[in-house]
A and B are shown apart, each in its own frame.
Chain A
Amino acid sequence: MKSMVIMFRHAPLGTTSTREGLDFAMLSASFEQEVSIIFTNEAVLHLLAGQTPEQAGSKDYVAAFKALSLYDIDTVLVCAQSMQTLGMQPNDLSITATVATPEVITQTLQAADEVLVF
C-alpha cells in the first residue's frame, strides 16, 4: 500500500482534467491505497453547491465528490489561500473538507509516497 495524494488544480467543467483525476483517486482507493485529495487554485470551485454541469456539456462528476467518504477517502484538503482569492468561505463547501494553509499542504505533499496533479 502506498500513500497517494491526488491534487486538483484546474477549474471545474472547462476541461476533463479533474474528472479523470477523480476516476484515478476512486480507483486507487478501491485498490486499498491510502488516498488524500487536495483542491487548489480554481479547482476549489468544484466544492460550491448548486452546480448543474450538464448545462455546460459536462457529465455531473462534481456530484461524485460527495461519495469520497464511501471510498474511505477521508483526507480532503482545500487551499485556504485559493478560497480567499475566489471569495469562498468555509460554509460554502458542499462536502466535508478541511480548509488548509499552504504550510499544511506542503507537509502533506512531503509525507506522501506519490503525488499526482490533475
Chain B
Amino acid sequence: MILHHIQTSVMADNALSTCLRYIHPTDSILLSSDAVNCLLQTQWQQALADVKLFVLQDDVVARGLFDRLMIILASEAAGSFDIIDYSQFVEQSLLHEKVITW
C-alpha cells in the first residue's frame, strides 16, 4: 500500500506514466505542483479513473484550477479524486506503508 507522489507535469516528464506501469491495486497517487494539470486532459482522467487519487489543494487553487476540477469531478467521464490539504497529505503518508516520490 504505497502513496505515489508525483510533482511534475505529464507534458514535461514521464513520472506519472512510469508510476502507473508499476502501481499495485492497493496503492494511491498524490498529484502536486504541475502534476495536477494532467486532470484537465481526458486521456489522463481515464488513465487515472481506477486509481485512488489525491490532489494537493494549494497547488490546484494556486493555479486557478479549483472550479474546473470540481466540474470535471462532477462529470461522469472522469473517475473520482479527493482534493486534500497538507494536513491530509501528512495523514495519508502515515496511512500508507510508504511514500514514493517519482
Q: Which residues of A contact B (CB under 8 A)?
A: 9, 40-41, 79, 81, 102, 105-106, 109-110, 112-115, 117
Contacts and interface: CB of A to CB of B under 8 A. Distances in A.
B18 A109 contact: no
Residue in B15, B18, B101 with the greatest tally of chain A CB atoms within 10 Å: B18
B102 to A, nearest CB: 5
B24 A110 contact: yes
What 7 pairs across the A-B complex have the smallest Cβ distances?
A115-B100, A106-B22, A102-B21, A105-B22, A117-B102, A106-B24, A110-B24
B53 interface: no
B98 interface: yes
Contact of A117 (B21, B23, B24, B100): B100
Interface of B: 2, 14-15, 18, 21-24, 98, 100-102
Nearest to A114: B98
A117 B52 CA distance: 21
A41 B23 CA distance: 15
A81 B98 contact: no
A41 B14 contact: yes
Contacts of A109: 2, 22, 24, 100
Contacts of B14: 9, 41
Q: Which of B14, B23, B100 has the most CB of A within 10 A?
A: B100
B2 A110 contact: yes
Nearest to B19: A117
B76 to A, nearest CB: 30
A94 B55 CA distance: 41
Query: Most chain-A CB neighbours within 10 Å: which of B2, B15, B22, B24?
Result: B22
B98 A112 contact: yes
- For B2, B21, B24, which residue has the most chain A Cβ atoms within 10 angstroms? B21
Given A109-B24, A110-B2, A114-B98, 15 more contacts: A9-B15, A9-B102, A40-B18, A40-B21, A79-B21, A102-B21, A106-B22, A109-B22, A110-B24, A112-B98, A113-B98, A115-B2, A115-B98, A115-B100, A117-B101
